[in-house]
Amino acid sequence: MNTFLNLNYLKYFYFFLGAMFSLTAQAQLRVEISGVGANQIPIAIASFSNEAAAPQLISSIIKADLMRSGMFKMVESGVTLSDTSPIKYEEWKSRGADALAVGSVTPLANGQLDIRYKLIDTIRAMPISSLSQSNPAQHLRSSAHKIADDIYEKLIGTRGAFATRIAYVTKSGRQYRLEVADSDGEGMQIALSSNEPIISPAWSADGTKVAYVSFESKKPVVWTQNMLTGERHIVANFKGSNSAPAWSPDGSKLAIALSLSGLTQIYTVNADGSGLQRLTKTNGIDTEPQFSPDGQHIYFTSDRSGGPQIYKMSTTGGDVQRVTFQGNYNISPRLSPDGKSLAYISRREGQFQLYLLDLANAQELRLSDTAKDESPSFSPNGKYIMYATESGRRGSLAVVSADGKVKYRLTTQAGDIREPTWAPFVK
């Protein structure tokens, strides 16, 4: 077997044979922020009126989201202000706050919470946004994330991604779990438990399904699972290895890597498992396919040049072009949502690290300073990249901004967490 494919499998089995840890320890992900943006916007988040009536303080959740983004400097408010409270603009300007968020929480007779919020520009002395939501109390965090998204969009100019979801794989004893959580690691739900390994989860473009590889049949088989209903379907269970699923932008197909011919090659298959089509025919190994956001190309890893590099081809398999040229070992391609940048893992001087390539000018930027990185995944707004790495000899999830300035980690108290995939925006 080719060296780079061996290493790919070793990274998986390094995880699968990792230390045991308790279900309680992995149920909660802890956020550790280590980097911030160069130009932070000073903002004050006042305590929301009557927020103590809710299961959690909504203002605290909003603050945590904005702080994690690295784009905001928190100005302590020390007061409670509702969305109808009079605002002393000069006072807030003198305290250094360019913006102020206020709001209220009102329990309703039907058990829901009416949540209102207003964002105020203290420099121009005027409100710039407001939201009103009525949701069950258990959806409080979702409501808070949506408010944080609104603040991020109004002040940064890019849609926020706090209200999105992530999926990842954990191991507890002999049990492997595909878990889904909020982007901050809270609200974890178990999508699948198995006594056999689960690898390579990938969200569909509409955010309703996840494709993954399960070894429950004592071999790698590609499945898809509806995250709303739990319904599962086998997409690829051919002779040999079935691996590395990636959805087409319209959700009608998946690109997969199969060893039907002996060496692993790239295929496409309809989402229902029909219509198998082979795209690559080489004497090497082609794997890790990824559709471009416009659906016109598939990026993939191949050793056809002697070592693993990233290539792209048309979705019919023609017009193959090499994409990466710096370094002799580049794997795991992931396209930014706008298709302008490529994230990947490069091994240099014995370290596996996350890099970002500008596809227009071929400029490369190293984004991580760790040594065992894998599985990059863009946030749906393209501003951040989540990837798996190690922290204290345990697998953890790290997030870095596309410019490399903002960094934070999602870690567990014990054990490993790997294979992250960031869900798209859900309409």
Write out the chain in H/E/C secondary structure: CCHHHHHHHHHHHHHHCCCCCCHHHHHCCEEEECCCCCCCEEEEECECECHHHCCCCHHHHHHHHHHHHCCEEECCCCCECCCCCCCCHHHHHHCCCCEEEEEEEEECCCCEEEEEEEEEECCCCEEEEEEEEEEEHHHHHHHHHHHHHHHHHHHHCCCCCCCCEEEEEEEECCEEEEEEEECCCCCCEEEEEECCCEEEEEECCCCCEEEEEECCCCCCEEEEEECCCCCEEEEECCCCCEEEEEECCCCCEEEEEECCCCCCEEEEEECCCCCCEECCCCCCCEEEEEECCCCCEEEEEECCCCCCEEEEEECCCCCCEECCCCCCCEEEEEECCCCCEEEEEEEECCEEEEEEEECCCCCEEECCCCCECEEEEECCCCCEEEEEEEECCEEEEEEEECCCCCEEEEECCCCCEEEEEECCCCC
Query: Where residue 73 sits, what CATH number does that domain have?
Result: 3.40.50.10070
**pLDDT value of residue 15:** 35
Last residue within a domain, chosen from 136, 156, 176: 156
Half-sphere exposure of 377 (CA within 13 A, CB side): 25
Confirm whether 202 is domain-assigned: yes
Sign of CA dihedral 355, 358, 362, 363: negative
pLDDT band at 261 (very low <50, low <70, confident <90, very high): confident
Looking at per-residue pLDDT, the higher value among 308 and 20 belongs to 308
The conformational region for residue 352 under phi > 0 = left, psi -120 to 50 = alpha, else beta, is beta
pLDDT band at 393 (very low <50, low <70, confident <90, very high): confident
Residues 137 and 168 in one domain: no
Confirm whether 128 is domain-assigned: yes
Residue 396 CA to its chain's centroid (Å)? 13
Residues 289 and 363 in one domain: yes
Which residues in 368-403 are b (16+ Cβ under 10 Å) and which e?
A: bebebbbbbbbbbbbbbbbbbbbbeebbbbbbbbbe
Residues 90 and 142 in one domain: yes
Confirm whether 273 is domain-assigned: yes
Task: Give me the domain span that covers residue 98.
Answer: 41-156
DSSP strand pairing (175-182 vs 165-172): antiparallel
Residues 130 and 249 in one domain: no
Residue pair 184/31 in contact by the 8 Å Cβ criterion = yes
Residues 221 and 253 in one domain: yes
Taking residues 331-350, report their average pLDDT.
97
pLDDT digits (tens, 9 = 90+) for 39-61: 899 999 999 999 999 999 999 99
pLDDT digits (tens, 9 = 90+) for 178-234: 999 999 999 999 999 999 999 999 999 999 999 999 999 999 999 999 999 999 999
Residues 348 and 311 in one domain: yes
Taking residues 250-273, report their average pLDDT.
96
Confirm whether 228 is domain-assigned: yes
pLDDT at 171 over 90: no
Residue with tokens 């699968």: 16
**pLDDT value of residue 336:** 98
Residues 196 and 246 in one domain: yes
| Count of domains forming the chain | 2
Determine the angle formed by the axes of helices 140-156 and 58-69, rounding to 10 degrees.
40
Residues 365 and 238 in one domain: yes
pLDDT band at 23 (very low <50, low <70, confident <90, very high): very low
Token pair belonging to 384: 């951040």
Residues 219 and 332 in one domain: yes
Taking residues 129-135, report their average pLDDT.
95
Taking residues 337-347, report their average pLDDT.
98
Confirm whether 427 is domain-assigned: no
Residues 7 and 66 in one domain: no
Last residue within a domain, chosen from 156, 176, 199: 156
pLDDT at 18 over 70: no
pLDDT band at 85 (very low <50, low <70, confident <90, very high): very high
Residues 80 and 204 in one domain: no
- Average pLDDT over the chain reads 91
Which residues, other chains included, contact 141 with Cβ-Cβ below 8 Å and sequence gap of 6+?
A: 56, 61, 182, 186, 187
**pLDDT value of residue 172:** 79
Confirm whether 337 is domain-assigned: yes
Confirm whether 214 is domain-assigned: yes
Confirm whether 35 is domain-assigned: no
pLDDT at 238 over 90: yes
Report the C-alpha gap between 222 and 354 in whole angstroms: 26
Last residue within a domain, chosen from 156, 190, 213: 156
Report the C-alpha gap between 185 and 32 in whole angstroms: 12
Residues 113 and 176 in one domain: no
